[in-house]
Amino acid sequence: MASIFLTSNGFFTETIKGEFLATLKKQRINPKAVIITTASTLKEKNRLALKTKNDFFEMDIKHVDFIDVEVEKGERLKEYNIIYINGGNPFRLLYFMKKSGADLILRSLSKQNTILIGASAGAVILGPSIDVVQHFSPELNEIGLNDYTALSLTDIAIFPHYDREDVFKEDTGKSIEDRLSKFEEWNNISVTRLKDDQYILINR
């Protein structure tokens, strides 16, 4: 069955890399990796996408491709057993994941011997919804998305970059925790906080 990594920054620490390699060893697969670049306007030229490709190479995974589901069909994901979803704009990412059919492909792959890695926006869309993004960063919704229902490959709602007050500034000066606690109270849900060096591994 699938292993799912939820991260803020992908392979940000040696600990995360080590956990990934241990998981890969358990899976006993011939690794073929793909990086979904859709969330970033820079696509495959995005700095973190390029770093991730290099990380894969350094971990001796030689077959690494990019895919942009804004312009490519999600069906192509069936060719891979390691799928990394890069960060960026969660609204654009979710919209094109659904439009391309990539959401359905990932749902199918999650029942197979596959490793899924979500970084930042890529991790958020693997959960039940991106409501928390709408709450914190509604200005990112340039695409006019109305349905915030995400892929639900996990029931864990995460908030990435929890330790980055500089990224989530607010005019009133309220902290991330203050605003996140209010969001949880208003929506009667629990959100898992992920700092930049943290991750969650789910084995389905």
Residue 167, C-beta contacts closer than 8 angstroms, at least 6 positions apart: 161
User: pTM, whole model, 2 decimals?
Assistant: 0.96
With 90 as the cut, is the pLDDT of residue 168 above it? Answer: no
Q: Could you tell me the residue ranges of all domains in the chain?
A: 3-203
With 90 as the cut, is the pLDDT of residue 29 above it? Answer: no
d(CA 175, CA 95): 29
pLDDT for 171-202, tens place per residue?
778 999 999 999 999 999 999 999 999 999 99
With 80 as the cut, is the pLDDT of residue 124 above it? Answer: yes
pLDDT for 51-82, tens place per residue?
999 999 999 999 999 999 999 999 999 999 99
List the beta bridge partners of residue 18. none
Q: For the structural domain made of 3-203, what CATH number should be given? A: 3.40.50.880
Better-scored residue on pLDDT, 3 or 172: 3
| Residue 161: strand, helix, or coil | coil
Strands 199-203 and 3-7: antiparallel
Whole-number percent of the chain with pLDDT over 70? 100
d(CA 152, CA 40): 22
Q: Locate tokens 């069906």: which residue?
A: 75
With 80 as the cut, is the pLDDT of residue 170 above it? Answer: no
